[in-house]
């Protein structure tokens, strides 16, 4: 390994893509962060001196605290951040990564951003960013649906076997969990179940999979009733056509810290109306005209963490959706949390538009 910071994958030409001005809104900065692809954006002044930064964690806390995304970025900017200079040695870099629970370290020269170091690029006891132990929390992937949005492809192949590069979609999802130490998978199957089982049988022992076979279609939550666990434990649940790029251990920690019975992973979606929007009063009088307004929504991504005791609320052998489970849970005084991720941290592969973007995700 070289004597200084050159292990980084960030190219000099990409630095500009990580910068936001101090006049930017939070929404603008999040878009820049998404485009940069490493979960961080740097706030600069007119001379492009770095005056602060925000990370995906700062974005998440802002959403949870009700901060409006139209507010100025300085509202949530972290001005006291860890950085290195261009003469830092690998020993200094590695010691800093080991000492600090951070994923990225900016490299500054005369207050200008010249590089960003990524924890994953360094040999920290074999990628210390990943857990040292295997977690026995189960992961349930709901793969029993017909995939009607992906016809005519799904007339022949089940949706979980959609090819993503050289892997099936179901493999891509499981590999993401494996990165964070989750190894035990339960896969609900119904439509073209034999094809799914045959595909993974051919892979041998690559994945630890137990199948939950529906005798009829049971919706997005009904098959969870067939999951019989030996102990009370949090359970990850994911649709088979979505992928979240985030730290799954952070999601689990959020769920536990909030003492939630269920946590929804929700993606921030931006929508801009390309017209002037009229607000009226008194039966037709114009009250306000908003030119091309932007709106922000947190949408259900299709990924959840559930405490296993709430599976008792699911009726046996009945068509039952996750939204119904939430309603029953909340009516009984249960607590549902929402873990926000940015728009480009989530992709819905269950529609052709999302599937076409998957290779670059």
What distances in angstroms separate CA 252 from CA 174, 236, 262, one per listed residue? 16, 9, 11
pLDDT of residue 12: 52
Q: How confident is the model at residue 314 (pLDDT cuts 50, 70, 90)?
A: very high
d(CA 64, CA 59): 9
Q: pLDDT over 90 for what percent of the chain?
A: 39
Beta partners for residue 107, in sequence order: 84, 115
| 3-state helix vs strand vs coil in the chain, percent to 5 | 30, 30, 40
Instruction: Tell me whether domains 12-121 and 139-360 share a fold.
Output: no
CATH top-level class for 139-360?
Answer: alpha beta
Q: How confident is the model at residue 360 (pLDDT cuts 50, 70, 90)?
A: low
Domain 12-121 has CATH 3.10.580.10: yes
Q: How confident is the model at residue 129 (pLDDT cuts 50, 70, 90)?
A: very low
pLDDT of residue 82: 87
pLDDT of residue 241: 86
Residue with tokens 């995700």: 361
pLDDT of residue 350: 56
Pick from 183, 304, 303, 179: nearest CA to 234: 304
92-121 per-residue burial string, b: 16 or more CB within 10 A, e: under 16 = ebbebbeeeeebbbbbbeeeebbbbbbbeb
d(CA 275, CA 316): 49
Question: Among the listed ranges 19-23, 95-99, 200-204, 212-216, which one has the minimum average pLDDT value?
Answer: 95-99
Spatial CB neighbours of 35, under 8 Å, sequence gap ≥ 6 = 17, 344
Torsion angle in degrees (nearest 10) through CA of 227, 232, 236, 237: 30
Q: How confident is the model at residue 353 (pLDDT cuts 50, 70, 90)?
A: low
Q: Where are the domains of the chain?
A: 12-121, 139-360
237 token code pair: 């649940």
39 or 236, greater pLDDT: 236
* Average pLDDT over every residue of 168-185: 90
pLDDT tens, residue by residue, 71-88: 999 999 999 888 888 888
pLDDT tens, residue by residue, 87-104: 887 777 877 777 777 788
d(CA 92, CA 130): 21
Instruction: Examine the pLDDT at 62 and tell me if it is beyond 80.
Output: yes
Instruction: Examine the pLDDT at 123 and tell me if it is beyond 90.
Output: no
Q: How confident is the model at residue 132 (pLDDT cuts 50, 70, 90)?
A: very low
Distance of CA 184 to the CA centre of its chain: 20
pLDDT of residue 3: 40
Instruction: Examine the pLDDT at 149 and tell me if it is beyond 90.
Output: no
Pick from 221, 247, 245, 241: nearest CA to 310: 221
């Amino acid at each position: 390994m070289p004597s200084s910071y050159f292990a980084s994958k960030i190219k000099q030409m990409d630095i500009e893509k990580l910068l936001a001005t101090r006049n930017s809104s939070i929404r603008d900065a999040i878009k820049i962060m998404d485009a940069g692809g490493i979960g961080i954006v740097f706030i600069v002044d007119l001379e492009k001196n770095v005056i602060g930064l925000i990370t995906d964690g700062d974005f998440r806390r802002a959403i949870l605290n009700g901060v409006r995304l139209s507010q100025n970025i300085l509202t949530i900017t972290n001005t006291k951040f860890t950085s290195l200079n261009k003469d830092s040695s690998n020993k200094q870099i590695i010691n800093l990564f080991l000492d600090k629970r951070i994923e990225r370290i900016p490299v500054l020269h005369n207050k200008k951003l010249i590089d960003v170091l990524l924890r994953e690029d360094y040999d920290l006891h074999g990628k210390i960013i990943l857990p040292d132990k295997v977690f026995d929390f189960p992961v349930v992937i709901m793969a029993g649906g017909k995939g009607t949005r992906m016809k005519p492809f799904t007339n022949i192949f089940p949706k979980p076997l959609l090819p993503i590069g050289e892997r099936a979609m179901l493999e891509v999802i499981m590999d993401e969990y494996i990165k964070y130490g989750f190894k035990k998978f339960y896969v609900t199957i119904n439509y073209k179940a034999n094809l799914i089982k045959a595909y993974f049988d051919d892979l041998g022992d690559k994945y630890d999979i137990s199948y939950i076979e529906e005798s009829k279609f049971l919706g997005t939550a009904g098959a969870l009733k067939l999951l019989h666990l030996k102990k009370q434990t949090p359970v990850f649940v994911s649709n088979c056509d979505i992928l979240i790029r985030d730290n799954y251990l952070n999601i689990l920690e959020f769920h536990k810290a909030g003492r939630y019975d269920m946590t929804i992973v929700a993606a921030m979606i931006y929508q801009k109306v390309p017209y002037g929007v009229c607000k009226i009063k008194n039966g037709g009088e114009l009250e306000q005209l908003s030119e091309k307004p932007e709106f922000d929504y947190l949408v259900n991504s299709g990924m959840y963490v559930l405490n296993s005791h709430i599976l008792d609320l699911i009726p046996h052998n009945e068509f039952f959706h996750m939204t119904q489970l939430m309603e029953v849970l909340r009516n009984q005084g249960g607590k549902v949390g929402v873990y926000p991720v940015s728009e480009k941290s989530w992709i819905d592969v269950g529609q052709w538009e999302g599937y076409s973007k998957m290779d670059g995700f």
